[in-house]
Amino acid sequence: MSENNPFEIAQRQLDECARILNLDDSIRDILRVPMREIHVSIPVRMDNGNFRVFKGFRVQYNNARGPMKGGIRFHPDETIDTVKALAAWMTWKTSIVDVPLGGGKGGVICNPKEMSDGELERLSRAYIQSISEVVGPEKDVPAPDVYTTPQIMAWMMDEFSKIYQKNQFGLITGKPLELGGSAGRGDATARGGCYTIREAANYLGIDLKGATVAIQGFGNAGHFAASLVSSLFGCKVVAVSDSKGGIMDENGLAVEAVIKHKVKTGSVVGFPNSKPISNIELLELDVDLLIPSALENVITSDNASNIKAKIICELANGPTTPEADEILYNNGIHVIPDFLANAGGVTVSYFEMVQNFYMYYWEEALVHERLDKKMTSAYHATLHASNKYNVNMRKAAYVVAVERVVKAMQLRGRI
């Protein structure tokens, strides 16, 4: 058993939940594995004229509550086990916010930072082609994740539409607004997380105005989080980081200027008048709120006892190992677990699907209002289970989410 294999972690978390719920072993065994996993080899012509074969995956974990749903990651360190874990977490994520969807995930082993736009487009089109038989608006609906963008979603939607010879906007979410995207999808993950932070702070009696925040990761989720905690709550963002390193300013970073700096230079590093800080140091800062927004396994048994934040809002998937979870819980740190904290993305993806199906688009304010309602009730359902079973918020979120999936499976006669 390794502390860092994401799929083993997902299975251990489920086992613990099955124990709390007294689930039948056979039901637990069904939920421990994906319904289907697809491995594809994707030949792509590179700019130098040669073909390169990329490895890709799509894991369809569970569709008891509705079509599979989950993003696609383009990452050099992608593995089938990460994708399987992420697909499991999507199943619990759609369930905790109670949207009528299941869970899935995709990934391609590649480094988009070293590819030209043309290569990226050809890879995106070839990947969706290679899984086109098993995805679709009523089967399995992908979305963006680490290093994938609205532009990539647009290429995939276009390629899929060509195969079906009609527009298939409902294939994929996180599309550009001009192509059936939803207002409010861009910052939905961070915004949804902020709604849970607001509820947690209320519950714990923490005043968010002037509260200090450290954010690890400055991508799809992290950079929006930095700007929203400042604009919505008046928090003071004292440190942020990306894969190249971090920056710090005790008096608060000028977040919008940091975003501009990153757009211009490719990193937050070197932002004028800030102090350099490593990703590891950032996690251990004495702040009120810590928002891991990058990759898995950054809070482990090695550093958990050094963490000083009062609230951790996990916008990343899988940032905390089970060993670290126990340490954080014993130290009284309130963790808003990943598949609850970052469920705002898939919630607005669900809204996007609804809008695509009925071809009528909502104002951004309506998206925010409906997102707030979903996140707030998911947070309180979790908090309630945490108090009822006397377990940490992650275990509580599992209890709520897994019970709903089990119920759907029972009603369908699958178990």
Q: Interacting stretch for ligand GLU, rule CB under 6 A, among 32-40, 66-74, 76-84, 399-407?
A: 66-74
Neighbour tally for 362: CB within 10 Å? 17
Select 130 or 173, whichever has its Cβ closest to ligand GLU: 173
Active site residue 105: yes
Q: Interacting stretch for ligand GLU, rule CB under 6 A, among 127-135, 261-269, 339-347, 399-407?
A: 339-347
Q: Which of 6, 34, 66, 70 binds ligand GLU (CB under 6 A)?
A: 70
CB of 328 to ligand GLU, least distance (A): 22
Select 148 or 274, whichever has its Cβ closest to ligand GLU: 148
Q: Choosing from 69, 84, 105, 262, which is the catalytic residue? A: 105
Burial of 144 (0-12, 13-18, 19+ CB in 10 A): buried
Residue 300, token pair as written in the block:
């482990």
Q: Which of 78, 98, 119, 145 binds ligand GLU (CB under 6 A)?
A: 145
Q: Interacting stretch for ligand GLU, rule CB under 6 A, among 26-34, 44-52, 340-348, 373-381?
A: 340-348
Tell me, letter by letter, the H, E, C secondary structure of the chain.
CCCCCHHHHHHHHHHHHHHHHCCCHHHHHHHCCCCEEEEEEEEEECCCCCEEEEEEEEEEEECCCCCEECCEEEECCCCHHHHHHHHHHHHHHHHHCCCCCCEEEEEEECCHHHCCHHHHHHHHHHHHHHCCCCCECCCEECCECCCCCHHHHHHHHHHHHHHHCCCCHHHCCCCCHHHCCCCCCCCHHHHHHHHHHHHHHHHHCCCCCCCEEEEECCCCCHHHHHHHHHHHHCCEEEEEEECCEEEECCCCCCHHHHHHHHHHHCCCCCCCCCEEECHHHHHCCCCCEEEECCCCCCECCCCHHHCCCCEEECCCCCCECHHHHHHHHHCCCEEECHHHHCCHHHHHHHHHHHHHHHCCCCCHHHHHHHHHHHHHHHHHHHHHHHHHHCCCHHHHHHHHHHHHHHHHHHHHCCC
184 touches ligand GLU (CB under 6 A): no
Select 170 or 345, whichever has its Cβ closest to ligand GLU: 345
Select 187 or 284, whichever has its Cβ closest to ligand GLU: 187
345 touches ligand GLU (CB under 6 A): yes
Q: Which of 6, 71, 103, 186 binds ligand GLU (CB under 6 A)?
A: 71
- CB-CB contact of 177 with 352 (8 Å): no
CB of 70 to ligand GLU, least distance (A): 5
Select 82 or 274, whichever has its Cβ closest to ligand GLU: 82
Q: Which of 60, 230, 317, 356 binds ligand GLU (CB under 6 A)?
A: 317
Q: Which of 68, 96, 97, 143 binds ligand GLU (CB under 6 A)?
A: 143
Select 71 or 186, whichever has its Cβ closest to ligand GLU: 71
346 touches ligand GLU (CB under 6 A): yes
Edge-first strand order for the sheet with 245-248 is 275-277, 245-248, 236-242, 212-216, 289-292, 311-313, 334-336
173 touches ligand GLU (CB under 6 A): yes
CB of 73 to ligand GLU, least distance (A): 8
Select 349 or 355, whichever has its Cβ closest to ligand GLU: 349
13 touches ligand GLU (CB under 6 A): no
382 touches ligand GLU (CB under 6 A): no
Site for ligand GLU in 246-285 (CB under 6 A): none
Q: Interacting stretch for ligand GLU, rule CB under 6 A, among 11-19, 63-71, 111-119, 244-252?
A: 63-71
Q: Interacting stretch for ligand GLU, rule CB under 6 A, among 4-12, 27-35, 65-73, 228-236?
A: 65-73
67 touches ligand GLU (CB under 6 A): no
Place of tokens 């951790």: 312
Select 190 or 290, whichever has its Cβ closest to ligand GLU: 190
Give how many residues touch ligand GLU by CB under 6 A: 12
130 CB-near residues (< 8 Å, 6+ apart):
40, 41, 42, 56
Nearest Cα to Cα of residue 254 among 266, 241, 272 = 272
CB of 162 to ligand GLU, least distance (A): 22
Q: Which of the residues are catalytic?
A: 105
Q: Which residues bind ligand GLU (CB under 6 A)?
A: 69-71, 93, 143, 145, 173, 317, 342, 345-346, 349
